[in-house]
Amino acid sequence: MPMKITLPDKSSRELPAESTGYDLAKDIGPGLAKSAVAVEVNGIQKDLNDVLEDKSTVSIITIDSKEGIDIMRHTLTAQVLAKAVKNLYPESKLAIGPTIENGFYYDVECSETISIDDLEKIENQMHKIIKSESSITKKLVSKKDAVKVFDSLGESYKKEIINGVSLHWVEIGSGSLVVMLHGFPEFWWSWRHQIIPLSRKFRVIALDMRGFNESEKPSSGYDTKTVATDIRDLIDYLGGPAFVVGHDWGGIIGYQLAMDWPDRVKKLCILNAPHPDAWITGWLTHSEQQRKSWYVFFNLLPEFPEKNYRDQFRTGTIRLARVMSPADVEIYREAFEKPGAATATVNYYRELVKEIPSGRHHRVRRISCPVRVLWGRRDVALDPVVNEIAMNWIDNMEVFYFPNCWHWLAIEKPRAVTRHLLNFFTN
């Protein structure tokens, strides 16, 4: 039976069963087929050779679009670069090769130093690979089989990525490690005002957490324990322990990290984020926190929260707009609308609510490292009572309130936040 495909302009086409995205593009026109690099099926990005499903809504992603350029940079250019390096330096080990705002990069470990003079040699090798017209094919295998393949090739970094989760971060400076964890619906850009000043004294890592922006977006693993494990592994990889800064969800994860692995955290600075067990206790026992937490339970709905946040971004009504410029909000919108990001980031809330009936708030481990909390009193989602509750489980905690600020202190009071961080981490 033929399948019916709906296009973005609401028109439809009938295609034979088992047709691919490329078949659809070719059916529309040879010019489109030539420029097509991928398709978006019901909001999810897929390869051109993936078989379409009946009654799907499909849009063609072309090379001249932002999404198309990102795909070409990752699928073609970055992979060609990796192959060129392996051809020239067979003993090298590949790590990750993601796209970034203005290009791409590939992390490679080599036994010999690659100088500026070698870049031309690598580029010439890339041209040679492209001229050979070798095809790039996709093969789907199980995680277990993928680990075996990379293990047999000696690609230990690729094996580690498969076993865990691939995380993207921005790094600058040297010295003691500072790891900065953002909130929802943000990414590493949240710390743009603090990164440079901190880098004059510290090695600063501003992270995209699991599911956000450029980091991997797996189908599961958004509970506080798993995400905190991601951060523990990152700190170990970077040679921690670390000073940890967390806002919103990043703060919740920071608390979890300090509870579970106290040896990884030197000091913890929290910006408008509840201790996870204090939030649960606050919700169970304080009516004001219950009232403010309505949105958490709204996020339990399937699919609708993702659509609602997209609509808020596009209309400029998202809460971020209270304290940020339209240009900054647009940057966050682009990150939120990356394939899989909306559902992945909302899943943080869905997993948190699952922990309420578990009684975990009765089994809290104490936090021994120094904790400094910076708090905007006009926060509409969190009541300061969560800080009072958290003090029951923290040995050394100080709270600084900002009376006329909302939820995004790093943006609202960038200099004051930077001063607090420098003072806290250096004294």
Please, are residues 275 and 299 in contact by the beta-carbon 8 Å criterion? no
Distances (CA, A) of 345 to 100, 216, 324, 335: 20, 11, 20, 11
Place of tokens 């919700």: 283
Q: State the span(s) of the chain assigned CATH 3.10.20.30.
A: 3-64
- Annotated active-site residue 407? The verdict is yes
- Res 254: pLDDT: 96
- Res 136: pLDDT: 62
Based on C-alpha coordinates, what's the Rg of the chain? 24
- Annotated active-site residue 248? The verdict is yes
Q: State the span(s) of the chain assigned CATH 3.30.980.10.
A: 65-163
Spatial separation of the C-alpha atoms in residues 135 and 349, rounded to whole Å = 42
Residues 168-426, CATH architecture: 3-Layer(aba) Sandwich (3.40)
348, 349, 383, 420: the catalytic one is 349
- From the candidate CATH numbers 3.30.1360.80, 3.10.20.30, 3.30.70.260, 1.20.1440.120, the one assigned to the domain spanning 3-64: 3.10.20.30
- What percent of the chain stands above pLDDT 70? 87
Most confident of 162-166, 210-214, 301-305: 210-214
- The beta strands (E) that lie in 47-120 are given as 56-62, 93-94, 99-100, 103-104, 108-109
Q: Closest by alpha carbon to 42, among 8, 1, 15, 81?
A: 8
The domain made up of 65-163 is a member of CATH 3.30.980.10:
yes
Q: State the span(s) of the chain assigned CATH 3.40.50.1820.
A: 168-426
pLDDT digit string (tens) for 70-106? Answer: 777 776 677 788 888 888 888 887 766 666 656 777 7
Please, are residues 97 and 158 in contact by the beta-carbon 8 Å criterion? no
- For the entire predicted model, the pTM comes to 0.64
Report strand pairing: 242-247 vs 177-181. Answer: parallel
Query: Mean of the pLDDT values across residues 155-165?
Result: 56
Query: Mean of the pLDDT values across residues 28-42?
Result: 89
pLDDT digit string (tens) for 97-110? Answer: 666 656 777 777 77
Spatial separation of the C-alpha atoms in residues 81 and 122, rounded to whole Å = 8
168, 182, 361, 407: the catalytic one is 407
Please, are residues 228 and 217 in contact by the beta-carbon 8 Å criterion? no
Please report, to the nearest 10 degrees, the dihedral formed by the alpha carbons of residues 275, 276, 281, 283 taken in order: 110
- Res 143: pLDDT: 55
Helix/strand/coil for 299? coil
* Cβ neighbours for 181, distance < 8 A, ≥ 6 positions apart: 207, 209, 231, 244, 245, 246, 247, 249, 250, 251, 253, 254
pLDDT digit string (tens) for 54-74? Answer: 888 999 999 888 778 877 777
- Banded model confidence at residue 163, pLDDT cuts 50, 70, 90: very low
Average pLDDT, the chain: 85
pLDDT digit string (tens) for 322-371? Answer: 888 888 889 999 999 898 899 999 999 888 877 665 555 445 688 999 99
- Res 293: pLDDT: 76
Least confident of 113-117, 139-143, 304-308, 328-332: 139-143
Q: Tokens for 111?
A: 């036994």
Task: Indicate the helix (H) or strand (E) that contains 278.
Answer: helix 276-285
23, 230, 248, 383: the catalytic one is 248
Strand order from edge to edge, sheet including 44-46: 12-15, 3-6, 56-62, 36-41, 44-46
